[in-house]
Amino acid sequence: MILKNTLRVILGLFMLYAGVGHLTFLKEEFYAQVPRWLTTEQGVMDLVVILSGIVEICLGAMMVLGGKWKAQTGWALAIFFFLIFPGNINQYVNEIDAFGLDTDQKRFIRLLFQPLLILWALWSTQAIQLLKKNKKQA
């Protein structure tokens, strides 16, 4: 349990860092994550980056705090990671350099980490156990 809680807090801190980065010092880098099929208009891209940053800050804080809603937070974060995956695909397909991902190989390898982040969110918050418990009660 100590390992799960430690990894949950680490993931939460990572999310807080990324969320603050969306709003400040990494804002330009996060434009690479906005799918070009969604928009190329700067104002809409700004909105997507800012809103996703706010979501990351909220989810990160909830991951760090844990509490009785940690499993639900794990599910919310896993869904968030799934929903932003097209942004990572966008960076790969459109060969956009950002976050040090300046080759196709690096951008492709980044794609492989998204499922690991989803599993990390679910495992560290015991979200899967909550789902099993709810199924048994139904």
pLDDT at 129 over 80: yes
Average pLDDT score over residue span 22-48: 95
Neighbours of 109 (CB within 10 A): 12
pLDDT band at 74 (very low <50, low <70, confident <90, very high): very high
Token duo for residue 14: 């990572």
Are the C-beta atoms of residues 68 and 83 closer than 8 Å to each other?
no
What's the mean pLDDT in 82-87? Answer: 96
Give me the percent of the chain exceeding a pLDDT of 90: 91
Single pTM value for the model: 0.92
- Residues 71-88 have a mean pLDDT of 97
| Domain spans, the chain | 2-126
* Res 9: pLDDT: 98
What percent of the chain shows pLDDT beyond 70?
A: 99
* 3 φ/ψ angles, rounded to the nearest 5 degrees: -65, -45
What does the pLDDT look like over 37-50, one tens digit per residue? 999 999 999 999 99
How sure is the predictor about 124, in pLDDT bands with cuts at 50, 70 and 90?
very high
Cα–Cα distance between 15 and 83 in angstroms, integer? 15
Mean pLDDT of 11-18: 98
DSSP, res 96: -
The CA distance from 41 to 46, in Å, is 9
